[in-house]
């Protein structure tokens, strides 16, 4: 009896999805699309949302229905503070899905009433933003294009030549854009090697707050060197290596038209498929494809046909390998789960440094939360999220000797990936405090010089 009920229930969930998809193209820049926050209170409810998420991904229908929040498989409130999920619904899908949620007693509230409007507002430039760009600068009150980030690196280097040591071209993207590694820090008078921290952002194209937060923090460290003792210590004690965008093609694509706003992957044309791109955060050669990744090019977690199929990952990898053994920390910024993730992400094994990474991660997020009260969870990806192999997080720890390897998942606040630009500075200020804690931990552990 019970089994029959479950079969009927799963069947109807699939039917609900299947029967409603006719045309999966985004229409009119997400006009009338809404984002809802669902509150999940049982394993059964979690199963339903995970099932919807998987089903739309497999069918390539995420332009109509998309679960934005990455959810664990197991409902364990003692492990995770909140079981809420953001879901995007096109106008055609709203009625049927809300009916299902109601019948399953999943409570829901609208967080974005019209995604098209949110995207328009998010993309708005003030006069100051426009003027800054025209003058080769950048602001943190708008989300900027990749070329603006590159100009910002150049301008920072020319204004602070003692602190911005190098801007190295590390290679070209699939579409031919230059990728850069910026090195900042106050060189030691004795020329000895300081511990290094590598940071990148936007390996996932749509997570715009990641690159904005990273450039904000770097800008702050450099421009406030003389006036801010925290910035000065960070610059004196650590050499910082920064790739502001680890997936510039995807990032630019997500900016190019409102319909592209939710693009996550790279932009490589796959040889045996009409589906473009691969999840670059599944493409590194460590435990590749072991878990949380697929071989279906259409899906958002497509790991590529083989490790390093993506040239951008090759460049990041070679840049980081050239910094061994200096780099002791790696921060690859994502959004939007408000989590500070640590290795291993591929499976449930504990790394030998698990306790230290937890301790330092907790201290970092405590400092972050102290600024504006934004809660963050700390843990391995499988413990608080899900397994995901082939990401920067695991690779940097296993292969590049970055002991303190983390994937910070920045602010969400119910907006998911479309976080209003007035959140950039608060996100930058709070994340800066967390990064400072990690820098201090690395400085204390490895000392002022490595040789």
| Nearest partner of 233 among 267, 185, 266, 170, judged by Cα | 185
Cβ at position 263, least distance to Zn ion in Å: 12
What is the longest distance spanned by two Cα atoms in the chain? Answer: 77
Please report whether residue 204 would count as binding Zn ion according to CB under 5 A.
yes
- 365 vs 407, which CB is nearer to ligand 0X9? 407
Per partner kind, with CB cut-offs from 5 to 8 A, the member of Zn ion, ligand 0X9, none near residue 133 is none
Instruction: Reduce the DSSP state of residue 294 to 3 states and report it.
Output: strand
Please report whether residue 255 would count as binding ligand 0X9 according to CB under 6 A.
no
Cβ at position 141, least distance to ligand 0X9 in Å: 24
Cβ at position 368, least distance to ligand 0X9 in Å: 17
Q: Which of 34, 334, 397, 411 is in the footprint of ligand 0X9 by CB under 6 A?
A: 334
- Is 444 an active-site residue? no
Please report whether residue 427 would count as binding ligand 0X9 according to CB under 6 A.
no
Cβ at position 337, least distance to Zn ion in Å: 9
Is the Cβ–Cβ distance between 398 and 346 less than 8 Å?
Answer: no
Instruction: Reduce the DSSP state of residue 402 to 3 states and report it.
Output: coil
CA distance 202 to 390: 16
Per partner kind, with CB cut-offs from 5 to 8 A, the member of Zn ion, ligand 0X9, none near residue 221 is none
Instruction: Reduce the DSSP state of residue 397 to 3 states and report it.
Output: helix
Alpha helices, DSSP H, located in 194-293:
208-223, 229-237, 248-256
Interface with ligand 0X9: number of residues (CB under 6 A) = 16
Q: Which of 163, 242, 345, 368 is in the footprint of ligand 0X9 by CB under 6 A?
A: 345
Q: Which of 90, 254, 407, 436 is in the footprint of ligand 0X9 by CB under 6 A?
A: 407
The token pair at 177 is 């854009």
CA distance 81 to 398: 29
- 221 vs 435, which CB is nearer to ligand 0X9? 435
Per partner kind, with CB cut-offs from 5 to 8 A, the member of Zn ion, ligand 0X9, none near residue 393 is ligand 0X9
Q: Name the catalytic one among 312, 409, 430, 433.
A: 409
CA distance 321 to 196: 12
Q: Which of 157, 183, 268, 334 is in the footprint of Zn ion by CB under 5 A?
A: 334
CA distance 313 to 284: 7
Please report whether residue 380 would count as binding ligand 0X9 according to CB under 6 A.
no
DSSP string, 346-364: SSSPPPTTHHHHHHHHHHH
| Nearest partner of 86 among 100, 62, 103, 67, judged by Cα | 67
Partnered with residue 198 across adjacent β-strands are 241, 330
Dump strand ranges (E) for 202-306: 239-243
Please report whether residue 341 would count as binding ligand 0X9 according to CB under 6 A.
yes
- 248 vs 391, which CB is nearer to ligand 0X9? 391
Element (H, E) at 20: helix 2-20
Cβ at position 405, least distance to ligand 0X9 in Å: 9
- 149 vs 221, which CB is nearer to Zn ion? 149
Alpha helices, DSSP H, located in 125-204:
127-134, 146-159
Is the Cβ–Cβ distance between 254 and 206 less than 8 Å?
Answer: yes
Report which residue's Cβ sits closest to ligand 0X9: 391
Between the alpha carbon of residue 47 and those of residues 13, 15, 98, 318, 449, the distances in Å are 11, 16, 16, 40, 51
Binding mask 152-191 for ligand 0X9 (x = CB under 6 A): ----------------------------------------
CA distance 385 to 7: 27
Per partner kind, with CB cut-offs from 5 to 8 A, the member of ligand 0X9, Zn ion, none near residue 405 is none
Please report whether residue 411 would count as binding Zn ion according to CB under 5 A.
no
Please report whether residue 381 would count as binding ligand 0X9 according to CB under 6 A.
yes
Give the residues lining the site for Zn ion (CB under 5 A).
Answer: 204, 207, 334
Give the residues lining the site for ligand 0X9 (CB under 6 A).
Answer: 70, 204, 207, 281, 334, 337, 341, 345, 381, 388, 391-394, 407, 409
Known catalytic residues?
409
């Amino acid at each position: 009896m019970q089994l029959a009920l479950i079969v009927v229930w799963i069947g109807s969930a699939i039917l609900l999805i299947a029967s409603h998809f006719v045309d999966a193209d985004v229409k009119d820049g997400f006009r009338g699309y809404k984002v809802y926050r669902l509150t999940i209170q049982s394993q059964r409810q979690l199963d339903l949302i995970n099932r919807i998420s998987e089903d739309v991904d497999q069918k390539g229908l995420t332009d109509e229905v998309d679960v934005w929040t990455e959810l664990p498989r197991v409902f364990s409130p003692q492990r995770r503070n909140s079981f809420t999920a953001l879901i995007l619904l096109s106008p055609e899908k709203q009625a049927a899905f809300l009916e299902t949620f109601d019948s399953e007693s999943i409570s829901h509230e609208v967080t974005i009433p019209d995604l098209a409007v949110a995207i328009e507002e998010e993309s708005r430039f003030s006069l100051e933003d426009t003027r800054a760009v025209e003058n080769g600068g950048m602001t943190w009150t708008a989300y900027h294009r990749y070329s603006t980030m590159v100009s910002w690196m150049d301008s920072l280097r020319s204004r602070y030549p003692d602190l911005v040591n190098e801007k190295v071209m590390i290679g070209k993207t699939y579409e031919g854009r230059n990728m850069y590694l910026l090195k900042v820090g106050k060189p030691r008078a004795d020329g000895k090697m300081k511990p290094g921290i590598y940071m990148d952002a936007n390996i996932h194209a749509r997570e715009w707050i990641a690159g904005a937060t990273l450039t904000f923090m770097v800008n702050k460290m450099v421009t406030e060197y003389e006036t801010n003792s925290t910035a000065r210590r960070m610059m004196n004690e650590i050499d910082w290596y920064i790739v502001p965008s680890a997936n510039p093609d995807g990032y630019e694509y997500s900016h190019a038209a409102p319909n592209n706003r939710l693009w996550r992957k790279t932009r490589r044309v796959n040889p045996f498929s009409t589906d473009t791109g691969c999840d670059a955060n599944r493409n590194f050669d460590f435990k590749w494809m072991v878990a949380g990744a697929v071989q279906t090019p259409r899906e958002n977690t497509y790991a590529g046909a083989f490790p390093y199929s993506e040239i951008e990952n090759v460049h990041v990898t070679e840049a980081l390998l050239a910094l061994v053994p200096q780099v002791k920390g790696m921060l690859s910024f994502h959004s939007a789960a408000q989590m500070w993730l640590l290795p291993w992400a591929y499976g449930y094994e504990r790394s030998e440094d698990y306790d230290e990474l937890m301790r330092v991660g907790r201290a970092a997020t405590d400092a972050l939360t102290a600024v504006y009260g934004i809660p963050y969870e700390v843990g391995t990806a499988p413990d608080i999220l899900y397994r995901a192999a082939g990401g920067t997080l695991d690779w940097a720890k296993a292969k590049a000797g970055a002991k303190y390897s983390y994937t910070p998942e920045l602010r969400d606040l119910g907006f998911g990936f479309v976080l209003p630009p007035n959140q950039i500075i608060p996100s930058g200020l709070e994340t800066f405090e967390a990064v400072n804690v990690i820098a201090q931990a690395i400085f204390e552990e490895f000392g002022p010089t490595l040789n």
